[in-house]
Amino acid sequence: MPYDLKTDVPQAYLDDADTEGYIEILQEGLDNMRADIASLLTSHDLEKADEEFLDLMLYEIGWDIPITLTVTQKRKVVRDARDIYKGKGLFSAMIDIVDRLLGFTITIDGATTDAAIIEVTWQIPFHRLMGTEALFQFVVHAPIGTTAQQEADLGAIIDFMKWGPSFYSIVKDL
């Protein structure tokens, strides 16, 4: 419920136009402060946060994929950030995030499977453990009707999610 400053000022002072104008200026400042405080209270609540706070949350979790997200998608990314980062480098995670953010299904062909990547620990360089650069190559199959923007977004997501220095190509053939 908004607070009206005039309710606490004696009526005799409200009869003066200068005083009433001064109180209106104070009321405007008070309303602005109350709105700022109210927005700060919701800034940490993922479901109520304004879009500007969601952008800050995305920045804080290291989300730097240059694609346009709706407010709902931003909330999903922040909420699922841990799972997204845990799946980084896994084909199944790439397929899942493309489906969630772009709304279409892709398939991936490659020499490396999720099982092979999961067995690799971060302390050992991938190419030493697997022994060949061929394991870094894979093909992403996208729907035939994929637009140039969707293809650019798909490339940005794959670049973000792929394992290390991987090479890939996008083929529109689904």
> What is the tens place of the pLDDT at every residue in 55-93?
888 888 888 888 888 888 898 888 888 888 888 888 888
Answer yes or no: are the C-beta atoms of 77 and 46 closer than 8 Å: no
DSSP 3-state helix, strand, coil percentages of the chain (rounded to 5)? 55, 10, 35
The whole-model pTM stands at: 0.61
- Which band of pLDDT confidence, cut at 50, 70 and 90, is reported for residue 111? very low
Q: What is the mean pLDDT of residues 4-14?
A: 74
Q: Lowest-confidence range among 17-26, 64-73, 124-133?
A: 124-133
Q: What is the domain partition of the chain in residue ranges?
A: 5-42, 87-172
Whether 133 has a pLDDT exceeding 50, the answer reads no
Q: Note every long-range contact of 146-150, with CB atoms under 8 Å and residues 24 or more positions apart, other chains counting.
A: 146/104, 146/172, 150/102, 150/104
Strand partners of residue 21: none
